[in-house]
Structures are given as structure tokens and as C-alpha cells.
């Protein structure tokens, strides 16, 4: 059965259209888009309460790191440095201890927050493979905790089991505090097949694969995994060039920069998503764009960790494909990520509207870029409000403080660049209501789902940090 919606204003083809009749087919994808619809044509359609935007893909997530958001913001002792590597040691304190039940509670609350922040699909870069003793040795325990969490709240999930074999360039194995991350190409293939068999009846879940980083695996293992993913057309993700130290180590061990080495040694193509690429040279960015690969930019995490500033102008000039991710989840809404991406460029370059095309809107250019990269990251037909794409969309409150009185043509600009943040009043995935005000609307869920998720999350945080 086709569902019909009427939007007073909707974002189509990179601009606002008025009086739009939207139709969703039985497969949950857009089957009809009619701007300028008359009252008679819209008769019987559900009238939406405000401007409509497409939802975005959160292209990079480590769900368990939601448990440390806000808890790593104190400096170390006098004389010590505080950087990504010291933050990583603090992050490991949770990674070593978290159980499958605790991960499910953390992830379910996070995914509810991400839905409320305008995301409808999350790409989970998952390397907590080895279960705790409490899981009874089930190799699928941690993965299935994430699947259950996403299904519980109605979040789409692209699970990315991750190759992690060594502690760094030249190392022969993992550190003691990394043993939980251990995986080989064979173990990941078994994990993917096991999870696929287990969630056969959950249409909101799909899989890809990830390589943690160049420092975490050798070339033969990466080639084996890339070949397996290539045959099956699965998305492949990899952390790369996030830290200057990583670039220096790669140069010392290989004689090449990380992205340079990756492109010279692996079959990087449109299935590949390079996470961060913060310290990429202009020639590397040009080469990534030429291969058709995408870059996943994580502005809030890159700022929080002091990573550096991605060279957005060079990559945009090359016509590169990109998406955004919330990564460590210090921010959990896409307007905030897009705002930080633009502001980081303004601070670095000391000029305004860096992302905007001549005469155009920065918010529009950023929105269109992030939408285009979502399909590559997720491996699904997601993105703009367009025929054949999954009908994932947000309804905004035009009377909210940041949007009140704003001309309709500049609604998106105010959403991204004016405070306070504007949460959507409704979120739809595949044409089905997922967020309605402050309530989660998962079919079959018991009343008070959000409150139960909050209680589970708070209890788990107490257990982890008692």
C-alpha cells in the first residue's frame, strides 16, 4: 500500500520546493514526488507539520564510546601531554570491560539519540569482537548486542566487523589491552556469515567490513579481506591519516604516506570509505576522488581529539565524495557536525562560507555533500528525497526559536548555523514514524520505551564508572 504525505516545504534537488506531495511505495522507498500540488491532489494525504528534509547516514560510529562522552575532558598531571594517544588509553579502560548487555544498553540509548538528531542509518565500525567471560564465549555476542539495540529503537544499522591484528607498524601482535579487538580475515568472514544468518528477518540491518587502520594489519590480510568484500560488493571502511604520528610512522615503515600507500597496494574504488583523512596531501585527495572512493569526515570528534582540520576545499575542488560520522559521539546530530565542519574551515582559512558555491548557501552545499556520501558508506539506496531512495525524512518545527520568522528559503541555513539547536519534531524511516516529539515510535514497542532505555543507560553507566 502506498503512503502519501503532504509537505508545505520540502528539500528536493538541492533546493526548497513548496506544497510537495510525497508518495512512499510498499518497499519503503519514494515512489512519487510532486511539487506544487493542489489541495485537491493532496486530498487524503497526511499533512506534515513543518518543513521536510531528508535524513542523513551517520557514516562512522563506535557505539561503546558513548559511555565516555564528557568524561575525558580533564588534563593529566603537570608535564604530561594530552592528545589522541592519551585519550585512547582512557577509552581502552571501557573497551576492556564492557559486556554484551552493557553494550546493548549503551548502543540502544545512543541510537535513540541519533534518531532524534536526524540520522536514520548508522555505520557501526565494530572491533569489540571477543566477548567477556559473561558472554560464555559466543563469538557473535558483541555484534548481536548492536543488532538488538538498533532493532529495539528502529535505527537502520550497517554493521562493519573490523580487522585488527597488531598494535602498530612493525608489531607482530596486539598489546594486552587490545586483545579483545583480535580478528583475522577468516574470523571476520565467519562473523559476517553468522550475523547474516541470525538477523535474516531484520530488514533494517546490513553488513560491510572494516580495516581498523594500516598500523593494525599487514598487507596480505588486508588484500584477502578486500578481495572477499569486493566480490560481494560490500562497503569497506578504514581509519586513515587521522594523526600526524600515524603519517610519520607510515613514512618510516613504508616510505609512503598512508593514503598514498593504500592506493598503491589495495583495490580502492567506490566501495571504499576512508575515515578522517585529516592529514592527506592535496595529491592524495585528488587520487581518492579519481578512484571514486569516499571520505568520512567526523568534525566533532576530530575537534574533540585535537586531530587537525580536514582540507575540505582541496577535496571539494577535486569533486570528491564524502559523508559525515559522529564517531565518538561527543555530538549526536548532523546539523552540529555540518556546522563544525564549516567553522573549522573558517578558522583555518580566516574567511566565511567556505563550502558555498558562488552565490549559494554553505548549509546547502554541506547537506548535499553529506547526502551523496551516505549511500557509499551504508551500502544502501539512501540519500536525497528522490525516486527509488528509501523514504527517510525529518519534519522540522518552523516555530522553534532558531527558525522562528526565518524566510522559508533560508530554513536550512538557520537550522545549521543558528542556535539553539532545532531537533526534528518527527523522524521517518522507510515512510514509518520513528520519532514523534520526545517519543520513540517503534512498532510493537511497549509504552515508555524511551524512559526504559534511559534507565538501562543510567544503570549501565553506574556499573562502568562506580
Catalytic residues: 276, 327
Q: Cell digits for 412?
A: 536550512
What is the Cα–Cα distance from 219 to 83, expressed in whole angstroms? Answer: 28
Amino acid at each position: 500500500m502506498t503512503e502519501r504525505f503532504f509537505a508545505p516545504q520540502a528539500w528536493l534537488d538541492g533546493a526548497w520546493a513548496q506544497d510537495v506531495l510525497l508518495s512512499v511505495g510498499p518497499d519503503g522507498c519514494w515512489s512519487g514526488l510532486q511539487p506544487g500540488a493542489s489541495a485537491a491532489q493532496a486530498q487524503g494525504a497526511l499533512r506534515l507539520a513543518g518543513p521536510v528534509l531528508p535524513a542523513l547516514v551517520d557514516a562512522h560510529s563506535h557505539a561503546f564510546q558513548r559511555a565516555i562522552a564528557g568524561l575525558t575532558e580533564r588534563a593529566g598531571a603537570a608535564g604530561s601531554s594530552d592528545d589522541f594517544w592519551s585519550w585512547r588509553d582512557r577509552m581502552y579502560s571501557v573497551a576492556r570491560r564492557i559486556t554484551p548487555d552493557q553494550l546493548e544498553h549503551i548502543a540502544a540509548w545512543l541510537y535513540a539519540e541519533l534518531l532524534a538528531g536526524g540520522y536514520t542509518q548508522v555505520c557501526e565500525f565494530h572491533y569489540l569482537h571477543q566477548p567477556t567471560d559473561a558472554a560464555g564465549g559466543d563469538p557473535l555476542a558483541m555484534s548481536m548486542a548492536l543488532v538488538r539495540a538498533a532493532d529495539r529503537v528502529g535505527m537502520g544499522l550497517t554493521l562493519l566487523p573490523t580487522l585488527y591484528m597488531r598494535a602498530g607498524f612493525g608489531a607482530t601482535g596486539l598489546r594486552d589491552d587490545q586483545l579483545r579487538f583480535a580478528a583475522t580475515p577468516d574470523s571476520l568472514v565467519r562473523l559476517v556469515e553468522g550475523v547474516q544468518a541470525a538477523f535474516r528477518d531484520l530488514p533494517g540491518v546490513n553488513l560491510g567490513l572494516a580495516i581498523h587502520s594500516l598500523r593494525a594489519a599487514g598487507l596480505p590480510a588486508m588484500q584477502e579481506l578486500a578481495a572477499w568484500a569486493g566480490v560481494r560488493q560490500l562497503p569497506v571502511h578504514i581509519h586513515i591519516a587521522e594523526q600526524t604520528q600515524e603519517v610519520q610512522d607510515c613514512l618510516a615503515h613504508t616510505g609512503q604516506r598512508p593514503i598514498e600507500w593504500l592506493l598503491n597496494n589495495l583495490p580502492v574504488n567506490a566501495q571504499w570509505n576512508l575515515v578522517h583523512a585529516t592529514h592527506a596531501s592535496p595529491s592524495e585527495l585528488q587520487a581518492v576522488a579519481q578512484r571514486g572512493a569516499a571520505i568520512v569526515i567526523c568534525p566533532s570528534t576530530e575537534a574533540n581529539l585535537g586531530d587537525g582540520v580536514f582540507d575540505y576545499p582541496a577535496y571539494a575542488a577535486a569533486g570528491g565524495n564524502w559523508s559525515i560520522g559522529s564517531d565518538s559521539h561527543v555530538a549526536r546530530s548532523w546539523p552540529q557536525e555540518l556546522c563544525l565542519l564549516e567553522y573549522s574551515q573558517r578558522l583555518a582559512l580566516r574567511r566565511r562560507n567556505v563550502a558555498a558555491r558562488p552565490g549559494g548557501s554553505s548549509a546547502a552545499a554541506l547537506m548535499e555533500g553529506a547526502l551523496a556520501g551516505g549511500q557509499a558508506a551504508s551500502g544502501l539506496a539512501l540519500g536525497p528525497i528522490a525516486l527509488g531512495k528509501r523514504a527517510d525524512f525529518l519534519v522540522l518545527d518552523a516555530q522553534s526559536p532558531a527558525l522562528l520568522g526565518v524566510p522559508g528559503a533560508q530554513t536550512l541555513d538557520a537550522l545549521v548555523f543558528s542556535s539553539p539547536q532545532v531537533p526534528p519534531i518527527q523522524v521517518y524511516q522507510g515512510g514509518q514514524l520513528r520519532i514523534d516529539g520526545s517519543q520513540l515510535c517503534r512498532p510493537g514497542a511497549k509504552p515508555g520505551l524511551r524512559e526504559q532505555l534511559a534507565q538501562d543507560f543510567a544503570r549501565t553507566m553506574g556499573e562502568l564508572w562506580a
